[in-house]
Amino acid sequence: MNIMTAEQFRAEKNSLSDATVNNAKLDKTVLDIIQNVRESGDAALFHYTEKFDGVQLGQLTVSQEEFLEAEETVSDTFMTALEQARENIAAFHENQKEKSWFTNRADGVMLGQQVNPLEKAGIYVPGGKAAYPSTVLMNVIPAKLAGVGKICITTPPGPDGKISPEVLVAAKLAGVDKVYKLGGAQAIAALAYGTESIEKVAKIVGPGNAFVARAKKWVYGDVAIDMIAGPSEICVVADETAQPEFAAADLLSQAEHDEQARSICITTNRVLAEKISESVSSQTGQLERKAIIEKSLEANGKIIIADTLSEAFDVVNEIAPEHLQLMIENPAEKLGTIQNAGAIFLGNYAPEPLGDYFAGPNHTLPTSGTAVFSSPLGVYDFVKKSSIIQYSRQALQEASDSIITLANAEGLTAHANSILIRRDVNDA
């Protein structure tokens, strides 16, 4: 791996930084798809599924028989692991449930905040060549705990027109209402605006390819979305207490995702940096996804030498990594220095894959530096709030001068009138 100083890294990072605002070519394709789905509904969905997934479907919805078939296909070992993961994910997210609250005053003023679940949520699960049952659990469980009324999944079918059995059993285990055989921008359009077969939802969540991400940006505002996911990253901060082979294995686990994935290690110790780099090289050879890993590390793999641990944390906060591993002494003591990170893994025995699959916290995390302003997916993504205001006649009377002053200052005299009319009318 490429070893560099923090200064070199910063110079490179700044020259690389680019915004997502402009993407005219992709926009044209994606907008055409959205427009066609809005105009032609299911017909457009069947058309695009044939075009992009290479399969002519009879219906979009996964049937009861297909669910039963899936259950017979998957192994007991897989089901046990899935059930344990579900338990851990549910236990963690249970802590995120929010309560409605109220405050009361003696003068008859009641203020509060009511929390309601979204009525319908749609979850995109990538498919085609690969299957991601973990994506199903991580997205469905918080929605379920929030109390969402209807939860559906869309996922692209394989060339045989089927959905992976692992995804289907995970959907059933998590309590999904419907699974649609549908991928790409057309799936996002269908969830956002509805078709004959697919109900419009309040929010669309889940990862996807560039078309899915761009379609989510376009429909945002007409429907809520979780985030626009970009390439993902790991940042490992290591000191003398870090096991170099562990750090190397974790950098490699990120690199195998795709060629855009970014694996970054930061250390104050040049000897450790060399050891990690060597271990990366020696482990890579034995890994199945060697070709992807090599391209990813070549483009985006870096080991940064920081002068001090404090400089290391500065670099972390500038990167705002999706995954941050603190393989350092007393890592919990350093949490206060971390401003920007999706998930923080502490010590030698909390590798990223533990969080991806099992520990409980969500694996849908802010990517590409968006941890500066966003959070892991959670129960809070599937609720919304309403403010509550009740005043007594007396309390409004006492507030009326101030409200009228402020309304008049903004030139909104009908606002002032709404207060005045209550002061002047004698209905006691």
> Scanning residues 157 to 186, which ones bind a copy of itself (CB under 8 A)?
166
Q: Which stretch binds a copy of itself (CB under 8 A): 3-11, 44-52, 59-67, 96-104?
A: 96-104
Question: Does 298 show up as a binding residue in the annotation?
Answer: no
If binding means CB under 8 A, how many residues of this protein chain bind a copy of itself? 138
Tell me: does residue 106 bind a copy of itself (CB under 8 A): no
Question: Does 186 show up as a binding residue in the annotation?
Answer: yes
Q: How far is the CB of 370 from a copy of itself (least distance, A)?
A: 8
Among 3, 57, 81, 90, binds a copy of itself (CB under 8 A): 81
Q: Which C-beta is closer to a copy of itself: that of 72 or that of 288?
A: 288
Among this protein's residues, is 322 annotated catalytic?
Answer: yes
Token readout for 229 is: 């996911």
Q: Which C-beta is closer to a copy of itself: that of 65 or that of 424?
A: 424
Q: Which of 166, 323, 352, 363 is catalytic?
A: 323
Tell me: does residue 29 bind a copy of itself (CB under 8 A): no
Q: Which stretch binds a copy of itself (CB under 8 A): 65-73, 173-181, 216-224, 300-308?
A: 216-224
Tell me: does residue 378 bind a copy of itself (CB under 8 A): yes
Token readout for 146 is: 């929030």
Among this protein's residues, is 323 annotated catalytic?
Answer: yes
Among 4, 26, 31, 55, binds a copy of itself (CB under 8 A): 31
φ, ψ at 413 (rounded to 5°):
-75, -25
Residue 126: count of CB within 10 angstroms of its CB: 18
Segment 235-264, which members bind a copy of itself (CB under 8 A)?
243, 245-246, 249-250, 252-253, 255-257
Lay out the site mask for a copy of itself across 219-238 (x = CB under 8 A, - = otherwise): xxxxxx--xx----------
Query: Hey, which bits of 270-409 come out as E strands?
Result: 302-305, 323-327, 343-346, 383-390
Q: How far is the CB of 54 from a copy of itself (least distance, A)?
A: 20
Q: How far is the CB of 53 from a copy of itself (least distance, A)?
A: 19
Q: Which of 166, 322, 352, 363 is catalytic?
A: 322
Place of tokens 């002519």: 56
Q: How far is the CB of 180 from a copy of itself (least distance, A)?
A: 20
Question: Does 257 show up as a binding residue in the annotation?
Answer: yes
d(CA 205, CA 203): 7
Our measurement of the distance from residue 340's CA atom to the centroid of its chain's CA atoms, rounded to an integer in Å, reads: 15
Q: What's the order of all strands across the beta sheet hosting 224-225?
A: 178-181, 150-155, 120-124, 203-205, 224-225
Question: Does 254 show up as a binding residue in the annotation?
Answer: yes
> At 150, is the secondary structure helix, strand, or coil?
strand
Helix (H) or strand (E) holding 300: helix 290-300
DSSP state of 258: -
Q: Is residue 340 within 8 Å of 372, Cβ to Cβ?
A: yes
Q: Is residue 185 within 8 Å of 34, Cβ to Cβ?
A: yes
d(CA 381, CA 201): 14
Among 6, 131, 173, 319, binds a copy of itself (CB under 8 A): 131
d(CA 175, CA 140): 8
Segment 257-296, which members bind a copy of itself (CB under 8 A)?
257, 283, 286-289, 293
Tell me: does residue 142 bind a copy of itself (CB under 8 A): no
d(CA 428, CA 331): 65
Q: At what angle do helices 270-284 and 244-255 cross, to 10 degrees?
A: 50
Q: How far is the CB of 319 from a copy of itself (least distance, A)?
A: 13
Q: Which stretch binds a copy of itself (CB under 8 A): 8-16, 54-62, 90-98, 301-309?
A: 90-98
Token readout for 180 is: 């649609």
DSSP state of 237: E
One-letter amino acid for residue 176 of the chain: V
Question: Does 232 show up as a binding residue in the annotation?
Answer: yes
What are the beta bridge partners of residue 70? none
Question: Does 323 show up as a binding residue in the annotation?
Answer: yes
Helix (H) or strand (E) holding 67: helix 64-73
Catalytic residue numbers, as ranges: 322-323
Residue ranges of the annotated binding site for substrate are 232, 254, 257, 323, 356, 410, 415
